[in-house]
Chain A
Amino acid sequence: MNRFALLVFSVAALAVATGCQKDETTSRDADLAGVNVAVGEKGGSFSKLFVLNEGNFQKNNSTLDFLRFSDGNYVSDAFGSMNPAVVQGLGDTGNDLALNDGKLWLVMNGSGYVHVLDAKDETLVASVAVPDPRFIAFDSGHAYVSSYAGAIYGGDEKKGKVFRIDLKTYKIDGEIEVGCQPEGVAVAGGVLYVANSGGYNYVHENTVSVIDLGTFKVMGNMEVASNLHYMVTDSKGRIWVSSYGESSWSQDDAGNWVQSMSEPMGLYMATYLSIPKTVQAVKDVHVSCMVMAGQYIYAIGNAAEMTGGYDNTLYKVSLTDSSVTATSLSKTDAAKVGNPYGICVNIESGDIYIADADYTGPGKVWCFTKDLKKKWVAVAGMLPAHMVIY
């Protein structure tokens, strides 16, 4: 039971392990055992699929898993295994995961940290304290993190912020006020776009804040739709942003909660730098989670949510002509996905990874072919939500 002695010993052991490193081509996390879920899986030029489990609210059980393509093993809590001496591990409520220049960035909403990991072996490079962080985006020199900045539900109406982190020093070197409760952020053409939700306000926000990254000043705000959420930008500098929708809720006689929409929910495409500015709704796309991969945006949402029903649907939105292909999961192998909470696509093989969050226990990560034929499924951590392929 003498854990103090163990601690000293373990730190020493770790140091030894670091010292006698294997050759450079073998990642140090290669020794981590996992559960073999995908025999014969090939990731093409990719080596790992990273999965960030959000964890339960204030339970400090957010974890980082990965699937290793070389042997098809799914490794749980890789961060904890590779960084055992980091007090309280990753922390609470991982809200975003991004890959930039060989580094993995984890946005921990509950803990108020942005962790920077070496993507090769999940070792911790830096932890940057950012209050209430939500989502992250990058340009060549900086990371930009949206933040609720101390707002609370039921409290004063309070503007959010974007914090700027220097990629060399991992220190905050700027902050700027945006709309209330900012969510998704994306960079295109020297401009940062911020999706404002205003989720704590009586009347939600409906704008995207536009920030010139040269001067780090707000250039303007563009009205898009109410209660904005996820955001990506494409190579043409267009903004694709999803909305939680604007609705009121009531219960029908059977007790089902039914939404009455005053504004449509879904996906919007907007341009700000063009003349004139444009905003365009992408019709009938319900977004619970979305990702941009190649020339498409992939999203999953419940097509029947207005009536209180369940019809989880995969939407494939073409960036070229905005056309939408909708496939109901119920007619495919993905019918078993209970609660799609995150999506990722392998652009080489077209494989689709879906994070499936269970509400009482650990979630799952599913892999399907582009035709939604099941390839494998793995047991993840609590509320798997965010994935990147490396």
Chain B
Amino acid sequence: MFPSFLAAFLLFIQAPECHPEHSEGSDTLKAAMVSSISGSIIVPQRITSGELKSASSLSEAVRRFAGVQLRDYGGVGGLKTVNVRSLGSEHTGVFIDGIQVDNAQNMQVDLGRFSLFGLNSVSLFSGQKVAPLQSAKEYSSASSLYLESADPVFKDGKRDNFFLRATGGSFKTVSPSAVWEHLLRGGSKLRLSAEALSSDGRYRFHVKDFRQYPDGTVAGYDTTMIRSNSDITSSRVEAMLFSPASGVASWNIHAYFYGSGRGLPGPVYKKAGEYPLSEDRQTDRDAFLQGKYYRDLGDVWSVAGRAKFSFSHLEYTDFPENLPRSLSGPSTPLRGRPARYNYRNHSAYLSATAMARIGGSLKVNLAQDCQYDYLDSDLRAFAYPGRFSSWSCASVIFGKDSFEASASALYLGVRDSFISGNDRSSAFRSAFMPSLVFRWKPAERFTLNGFAKRSFRMPTFNDLYYTTVGTKTLDPEDAIQLDLGAVWSLWSEPSNHLTLKVETYWNQLKNKIIAVPTSNQFRWSMYNLGRVEVLGADLTAEYSKKSGTVELGLIGRYTFQRSRDKSDKEALTWNGQIPYIPLHSGSVNLFGEHGGWRLDLTAFMTGERFTTSANLPAYRLSPWTTLDAALSKNLSIARNDLTLKLCLNNLLNEQYEIVDNYPMPGFNFMLGMEYFF
């Protein structure tokens, strides 16, 4: 029996706080709206409000997921992207409230640009998310990261909510933010929020190298340097409008603006003269307007529509290098003017979805999405590429008793138009992406799940059209994923809770897009060459115990990933572990709550890695472990909530690098205050 989607929606907004493993029907807003039976078949890894509070940033929260490698260039302003199961960050879609954040230029979505504040949950779907009324684009990534905003809740007949927050700490970081939620007369809800950030991003780090000689002596160096030109100022302003809770349709509209200016400190390498190594700057202006609309049409059909317009402008300023002071003295100044490059990315997206409920156990979901992207730049001989993409998807969702399964077929057609020579030419690429997902609950506390999926990552504008480097005939990267997992809830009382989760997987990535020399070795270009085979396992254990007002919990996550380079049998790289993927990695989170206090201790561990698939000692990156602590206290002052929070990051002052030559900060702290009235 299917309750009407509206009823479920009402249910959802009244009970938005769900424990991850008990909320299978509400993985996303949409799932919650339409279904309490199917929801998403794949239960995502999920971090909800409680644990989110203990994270100091979104990227710090995301790296807790099993199977994930966070690529972090260090510092407050350093690029942070997420790589799931060794497929590369371009294969991970990032979705805000179910609509994808795009970057047609290079497909890198910087997690550093999103705030945890105002988020209800962060979910990672490895493989295929299957939820009713899902858009076609949501079927297209190898894995997806979902950021879900909290729905405004007005308690005790209030019509206005105010949140004020201020955080600050190391690197001279200061970040104030404010949110105003208002219940409009017709029942619609408005949220306006603003956040600003300023940080000089400077921190000390060690550069060291020691070597041992056959006679046992050890020699080397260890020196301290300061990361500089790593400052950032940014601001974000958002407006969201939510539909009234009662009504035949539900919808929301989201307007977003982000602006930032930052220094690009660059990699650390030996340089004559004084630091900074780089004085390059980047400014960004991103804006989007997106909306969703859901409606039930009788007992059988439901429909949804989505639209998004976005614009982003990136200006990159390349300064001539900082010359040794001894040489820029009396003679003519060596320093020239900087070079500036501008990139403007425009995109428009439309999606229509219809779902039919057939009988008691079958749903059919049909979706059609279209998008247009255009990139403008002032690079020499630029190709001015435009791209029209169309995603068509049909899926069936079957659910009966303890068994659920879904099969989907997605067809993606992409037509590019670009300037080649004096003419405008075009190129067409297409991909067929099938997926199969199941979940079976043979016993009350035991669930089996699995999926098989083939997905393609279209070449980016940079891969294809970057002046003199891009290759216009590239094929998409081809990812095949097979996954089998199990969840076992040993104890499931609220007072005593233990869940074990195992995911095993085999992935193959073919036609990897990499840069290699052309027939003229002074010119490099992009080719489809590489192949990678991944064999992996993610283990998660979650334990919590409640006794009176005290709650204790432990979450452990471990990832094994053997990711082998299968590109060239003759090469030294054959069968080597691919760059930056550790064989072993994991995290442990321990927390305790009592009387408004919450303490979190989180440890991250990453095993040895290599910077090339030729796994020789010279290219080894050391393993690292960091330990973070977060302490927060909730107070009630005149029926208003005040939360104080202290985050101590990298307590052991571990000196480590996630990306070679981009040192991460040592010990740092953040102090925060949040007031809700």
Contacts and interface: CB of A to CB of B under 8 A. Distances in A.
Interface of A: 3-4, 6-7, 9-11, 13-14, 17, 31, 33, 58-61, 63, 76-77, 80-81, 84-92, 108, 110-113, 127, 129-132, 149-156, 158, 172, 175, 202, 244-245, 249-251, 254-257, 259, 288, 302, 304-305, 307-310, 339-341, 357-362, 379, 381-382
A359 B525 CA distance: 11
B339 A154 contact: yes
Given A86-B221, A257-B471, A379-B572, 14 more contacts: A10-B210, A58-B269, A84-B210, A88-B270, A110-B271, A113-B272, A131-B334, A151-B336, A259-B519, A259-B520, A305-B520, A359-B517, A359-B524, A360-B573
A325 B518 CA distance: 25
> Of B209, B327, B471, which is in contact with the most chain A CB atoms at under 10 Å from its CB?
B327
> Of B324, B339, B519, B525, which is in contact with the most chain A CB atoms at under 10 Å from its CB?
B519
A150 B336 contact: yes
Contact of B618 (A60, A77, A288): A77
Interface string B539-564: 00000000000000000000000000
A251 B323 contact: no
B320 A13 contact: no
Contact of B331 (A87, A155, A175): A175
A86 B211 CA distance: 12
A84 B335 CA distance: 33
A243 to B, nearest CB: 11
A257 B270 CA distance: 35
A7 B611 CA distance: 26
A331 B210 CA distance: 45
A310 B271 CA distance: 37
Contacts of B210: 3, 6, 10, 84
A59 B613 contact: no
B496 interface: no
Given A10-B220, A13-B219, A341-B521, A84 B266 contact: no
B473 A13 contact: no
A309 B335 CA distance: 41
Given A129-B326, A255-B474, A360-B567, A87 B270 contact: yes
A302 B220 contact: no
Contacts of B611: 59
B518 A111 contact: no
Contact of B220 (A84, A108, A175): A84
B651 interface: no
A156 B336 contact: yes
Contacts of A11: 219
Contacts of B519: 256-257, 259, 302, 304-305, 307-310
Contact of B327 (A172, A244, A307): A172
Given A360-B613, A362-B572, A129 B220 contact: no
| Among all A-B residue pairs, the 9 with the closest Cβ atoms | A255-B473, A91-B270, A154-B339, A10-B219, A361-B614, A60-B269, A129-B272, A88-B270, A84-B219
B521 A302 contact: yes
A10 B218 contact: yes
B323 A131 contact: yes
Interface residues of B, number: 74
Nearest to A127: B272
A112 B271 contact: yes
Interface of B: 207-211, 213-214, 217-223, 266-273, 318-321, 323-324, 326-327, 331, 334-341, 380, 420-421, 468, 471-474, 514-525, 530, 567, 571-573, 576, 611-614, 616, 618-619, 660-661
Given A58-B267, A156-B336, A156-B337, A111 B272 contact: yes
29 contacts: A3-B208, A6-B218, A7-B221, A9-B218, A10-B219, A13-B217, A13-B219, A59-B660, A60-B661, A84-B211, A87-B207, A88-B207, A88-B209, A89-B209, A111-B270, A112-B323, A149-B334, A152-B336, A249-B523, A251-B420, A251-B473, A257-B471, A257-B523, A259-B519, A288-B521, A359-B516, A359-B517, A360-B530, A361-B571
A129 B661 contact: no
A128 to B, nearest CB: 9
Nearest to A129: B272
Contacts of A309: 519
> Of A150, A202, A250, which is in contact with the most chain B CB atoms at under 10 Å from its CB?
A150
Contacts of B269: 58-60, 88, 91-92, 110-111
> Of A6, A257, A361, which is in contact with the most chain B CB atoms at under 10 Å from its CB?
A361
Contact of A111 (B271, B318, B331, B514): B271
B471 A255 contact: yes
A131 B324 contact: yes
A149 to B, nearest CB: 6
A310 B460 CA distance: 27
Contacts of A127: 272
A202 to B, nearest CB: 8
A249 to B, nearest CB: 6
Contacts of A244: 522
Given A13-B217, A155-B320, A112 B272 contact: yes
Contacts of B522: 244, 288
B341 A154 contact: yes
Given A10-B218, A254-B473, A60 B321 contact: no
A33 B214 contact: yes
Contact of A81 (B211, B468, B471): B211
A58 to B, nearest CB: 5
Contacts of A251: 420, 471-473
Contacts of A87: 207, 221, 223, 270
> Of A81, A255, A256, which is in contact with the most chain B CB atoms at under 10 Å from its CB?
A255
Contacts of A3: 208, 210, 220, 222
A112 B324 contact: yes
A39 B54 CA distance: 61
A85 B218 CA distance: 11
A251 B520 CA distance: 14
Nearest to A336: B570
Contacts of B660: 59
A61 B269 CA distance: 9
Contacts of B334: 131, 149-150
> Of B270, B468, B518, which is in contact with the most chain A CB atoms at under 10 Å from its CB?
B270
Contact of B217 (A10, A92, A130): A10
B211 A358 contact: no
A166 to B, nearest CB: 15
> Of B273, B520, B612, which is in contact with the most chain A CB atoms at under 10 Å from its CB?
B520
B523 to A, nearest CB: 7
A113 B270 contact: yes
Contacts of B614: 360-362
Contacts of A172: 327
Contact of A14 (B219, B327, B521, B618): B219
A72 to B, nearest CB: 19
Nearest to A358: B571
A288 B519 CA distance: 11
Contacts of B219: 10-11, 13-14, 84-85
A11 B614 CA distance: 32
Contacts of A129: 272-273, 324, 326-327
A91 B515 CA distance: 24
Contact of A85 (B220, B323, B326, B520): B220
A362 B614 CA distance: 7
Given A87-B221, A255-B471, A302-B519, A31 B214 contact: yes
Contacts of A288: 521-522
A130 B334 CA distance: 12
A255 B472 contact: yes
A80 B473 contact: no
Contacts of B619: 362
A217 to B, nearest CB: 15
A33 B215 CA distance: 12
Contacts of B472: 251, 255
Contact of A7 (B211, B220, B270): B220
